[in-house]
Structure formats: structure tokens, C-alpha cells
Homo-oligomer: A and B are copies of this chain.
Amino acid sequence: MELLTTNNVWMMICTALVFFMHLGFAFLEIGLTRQKNTINILFKNIFIITTGLLLYCLVGFNLMYPGEFNGFLGFAGFGLDAPLADGTLDLAYNEGYTYWTDFLFQGMFAATAATIVSGAVAERMKIGSFMIFTIIYVGLIYPIAGSWKWGGGFLDKLGFYDFAGSTLVHSVGGWAAIVAVWLLGSRIGKFRDGKPQAITGHNIPLATAGVIILWLGWFGFNGGSVLSADPGLTSLTLVTTCLSAAAGGVVSLLVSSVLYKNLDLTMFLNGILGGLVGITAGADQMSPTDAILIGSVAGAFIVFAVSFIDRLKLDDPVGAIAVHLVCGIWGTLAVGIFGALAGWNQFLSQLAGVASYAVICIISTFIILFILKKTIGIRVSEREELEGLDSHEHGMNAYPDFRLNEH
């Protein structure tokens, strides 16, 4: 009972920290995009967290954890269980946390996938289409895909390992992001004569704050994925998480300053995020040295991936594909290369996992967005894009009463 209480306290705190990541995402996305689309991005983030929780309550939780099932698709029924008749709850549920904590922790994860997409499609996607996409992707695709591993499905039986979601969360968001960006096309002015143009954001302090908040949230994202307060595992996980983040940032800075002769804060920040995504699949399996190596590689990948994605003429305003997809794949494969599970068999299992999620995410995103494109459309009008989504979709702007002082 004492141990259940302690475990549950830890899991609740981690839940709160993962919730707080939504502020991190919101700040990062608005900071790196133009002022005229700020309300739209904030709206999407608030929509994702509220709708995401309700959908996860209605169907997601029981799709993702259906109990005994065929390994591909199962459903344990609508809604959550009620408290027992005497007002208490079934505390025999789990020794690591209660049923309610389980739901809430997993529910906070669910919304993350859609948030990743939100950043990538920023500044040009129709809000109505985004809302419909989010409902389907968070409500159905994410939990079904999640059941394959965390729900005990076929990838779990295959030996695929994904501790906290380099693949199940970050790549699931990243695959959707790349498909969406491709279907949407680039923002007006992003490519001129085939060359990518810098479209600068409007608030780098908030973007920086977003990254620090996300890093903080990762204490809960990875720390809570231990699913108990086991002192050794939780604290090792926090150490590997932080060291990978630090290494990712520093290597990203080094590589980008060598290549571009510039101390680029944005690349520094994306390197940190890359390190965080990279360690997520195996944070409980790595030594500190492994963590630094994994983060360093992720940090280097970020620099090259950002420029490679540009060269593919994919317009990803916040670097979501480089951070969440590229480093998500890297982190998943790294479990077969570094740490306690390293080995050829594990590496192949990891590859199988990456491929399976690529298939379900690419296909489902394509189908949803293709139907939306052919019906209500997914892209705003040219005028709306030029004048900003805030005034057209929301009838307000982000800093309506902002004034300058006389200098």
C-alpha cells in the first residue's frame, strides 16, 4: 500500500509534466512562425489537448489497451469504468498506479502526436480540416497503432522495444507530418527559383521557453514511462534523458556553427529536442555514455535533416519532421545498437517496428487528408494565407493592443 501510494504519486506528477508539454509545444510553434498565424496555432493546441482527452476517454484508452486481443485491433468498450459502489476504486488494478492514473497519463500522451503535426502544417492549413484530422488521428489511429506495442499486440510479441515512444508517439506524429506537408504544399514564398527562403518566426524568447518547458516535460514523459517510481530505473532514465538532450544541443551547435559560421540558437534548440526524442525509445536501457552518444548523433542528424528536408521542397516551419520523425527513427534503431538490449535480433525487431508504424501512419494520414482535400479542402486561400489565418479563421489577432513607446 505504501509502495502503491508512492508509485502513484510519481505517476501523477509525471502526468502533470506531460500535460505541461502542451505549453512547450505551443510556445515553440508560435515562436517559430509568423505573428499573423499565432492565434490559429494556439487554438489548435488548445483544441488538441481538450478534444484529445475527451476522445481518449470515449474510445482511445480502450482501443489502445483492449486487454486480450488479436494483436492488430481490439476494443474494450466505450468510456471509462466508474468508481466502485462504495466510492472507492479497485486498488488491485496495478501496483504501480491506479486505473485513473493510467488513463490520464496515457491520455496526455495521446494528444502529443497531433501536436507534432500542428507545427508542421502551420500557417496554411484550414482549421476545419485540421480539426477533423485531429479527431480521427488522435481518436483512432494513434491508439490502434499504440496497441500493437504498448497494448500487448503483435509488435510487442515480436520483441520490438519502445520505452517511452520514439516511435509510438514521435514517429507517429512525424509520419503524419511529412505526409501532410507533402499534400499541403509549401507556404507562399518559401521557395524561390527552387531555393528555400528563410521565413523567420516572431518570438524567439517564447520558442526558447517552449524548448525548456518541453525538456522539463520529458522528465515526466520518460520518467513516467517506467510505470512505477522504481528508484533505480526512474533516476537512471532522468539522467540519460538529460544527458542526451544536452549532447544533442551541443553537437547540433557545433555542426551548424562549422557549416554555417554562425551561433544559431534555433539549431541549438532543435538539437536539444532531437536528443530528447532520440533517447526516448531506450532511456531506461542506456548508460550515461550511451545516452551522450545517442544524443550526439541525433544532434548531428538534426542539422543535416533540416537542410535535406528543405532540399526535398518540403516546407516544415518548425522542423517537426527532423526532430520527431528522423530522431524518432534513430532513437528506435539505437535500442538495437547501444545499451542493455543491443544486438542484431533486437535491431531487426526495431526495424520491423519502424516499418510497421510507417505503413499505418502514412496510409491512414494520406487517406484522411486526401478525402479532406477533395471535399472541403485542406489549404486556405491565397488571400487568407497572405493576410494571416488569425483574422480570417478567428477574427482576432495575437497582440491587438500592442503599442510601441516613443524612443
Q: Is A386 part of the contact surface with B, judged by Cβ < 8 Å? A: no
Q: How far is the CA of A246 from the CA of B58 in the complex (A)?
A: 13
Q: Is A127 part of the contact surface with B, judged by Cβ < 8 Å? A: yes
Q: Is the CB of A53 within 8 A of B235?
A: no
Q: Is the CB of A396 within 8 A of B265?
A: yes
Select one of B23, B97, B203 contacting A399, CB under 8 A.
B203
Q: Is A54 part of the contact surface with B, judged by Cβ < 8 Å? A: yes
Q: How far is the CA of A269 from the CA of B363 in the complex (A)?
A: 34
Select one of B6, B216, B230 contacting A2, CB under 8 A.
B6
Q: How far is the CA of A91 from the CA of B231 in the complex (A)?
A: 8
CB-CB under 8 A from A50, the residues of chain B are 245-247, 249-250, 268, 272
Return the chain B residue nearest A248 by Cβ.
B50
Q: Give residues 11-45 of A contacting B (CB, 8 Å).
A: 12-13, 15-17, 19-20, 22-23, 26-27, 30, 34-36, 38-39, 42-43, 45
Question: Chain A: interface residue count, which band?
Answer: 35 or more
CB-CB under 8 A from A393, the residues of chain B are 263
Q: Is A190 part of the contact surface with B, judged by Cβ < 8 Å? A: no
Q: Is the CB of A39 within 8 A of B250?
A: no
Q: Within the complex, what minimum Cβ distance (angstroms) separates A31 from chain B?
A: 9
Q: Is A344 part of the contact surface with B, judged by Cβ < 8 Å? A: no
Return the chain B residue nearest A220 by Cβ.
B16
Q: Is the CB of B400 within 8 A of A201?
A: yes
Binds B, one of A173-181, A286-294, A369-377: A286-294
Q: How far is the CA of A22 from the CA of B219 in the complex (A)?
A: 15
Q: Is the CB of B10 within 8 A of A9?
A: yes
Binds B, one of A78-86, A142-150, A153-161, A318-326: A78-86
Q: A262-B395, A400-B405 are in contact. Are A206 and B205 (CB under 8 A)?
A: yes
CB-CB under 8 A from A36, the residues of chain B are 403
Q: Give residues 193-208 of A contacting B (CB, 8 Å).
A: 200-206, 208
Binary per-residue interface labels of chain A (222-239) against chain B in the complex, 1 for a CB within 8 Å, 0 otherwise:
010000011110111011
Q: Give residues 86-104 of A contacting B (CB, 8 Å).
A: 87-89, 91, 97-101, 103-104
Q: A53-B242, A57-B243, A394-B264 are in contact. Are A20 and B405 (CB under 8 A)?
A: no
Q: Is the CB of A289 within 8 A of B79?
A: yes
Q: Is A213 part of the contact surface with B, judged by Cβ < 8 Å? A: yes
Q: Within the complex, what minimum Cβ distance (angstroms) separates A174 from chain B?
A: 23
Q: Is the CB of B232 within 8 A of A288?
A: no
Q: Is the CB of A26 within 8 A of B400?
A: no
Q: Is the CB of A250 within 8 A of B54?
A: yes
Q: Is the CB of B205 within 8 A of A235?
A: no
Return the chain B residue nearest A285 by Cβ.
B87
Q: A8-B235, A83-B236 are in contact. Are A203 and B402 (CB under 8 A)?
A: yes
Q: Is the CB of B288 within 8 A of A82?
A: yes
Return the chain B residue nearest A388 by Cβ.
B403
Q: Is the CB of A216 within 8 A of B6?
A: no
Q: Within the complex, what minimum Cβ distance (angstroms) separates A50 from chain B?
A: 4
Q: Is A4 part of the contact surface with B, judged by Cβ < 8 Å? A: yes
Sample 7 A-B pairs with CB under 8 A, ordered by A number: A5-B7, A9-B229, A12-B238, A35-B401, A200-B400, A201-B400, A203-B402
5 tightest A-B contacts by CB? A200-B400, A100-B235, A202-B401, A89-B232, A8-B231
